[in-house]
Amino acid sequence: AQKVTQAQTEISVVEKEDVTLDCVYETRDTTYYLFWYKQPPSGELVFLIRRNSFDEQNEISGRYSWNFQKSTSSFNFTITASQVVDSAVYFCALSEGLTSGTYKYIFGTGTRLKVLA
Partner 1 sequence: NAGVTQTPKFRVLKTGQSMTLLCAQDMNHEYMYWYRQDPGMGLRLIHYSVGEGTTAKGEVPDGYNVSRLKKQNFLLGLESAAPSQTSVYFCASTQGAGNSPLHFGNGTRLTVT
Residues that bind partner 1 (CB under 8 A): 6, 9, 31-33, 35, 37, 43-45, 47, 50, 52, 91, 93, 95-97, 100, 102-110
Report the nearest approach of partner 1 to the CB of residue 36 (Å): 10
Nearer to partner 1, 11 or 106 (CB): 106
| Separation of alpha carbons 4 and 59, rounded Å | 20
Q: In the bound complex, what is the minimum distance in angstroms from residue 108's beta carbon to partner 1?
A: 6
Contact 31, 97 (CB under 8 A): yes
Which residues are within 8 A (CB) of 48 and not within 5 positions of it... i.e. 6 or more apart?
Answer: 35, 36, 37, 38, 64, 77
CB nearer to partner 1: pick between 46 and 81: 46
Distance CA 114, CA 14 (A): 8
Tell me whether residue 47 or residue 116 sits nearer to partner 1 (CB atom).
Answer: 47
Q: How far apart are CA 113 and CA 115, in angstroms?
A: 6
CB of 53 to partner 1, least distance (A): 10
- For partner 1, which is the closer residue by CB, 17 or 55? 55
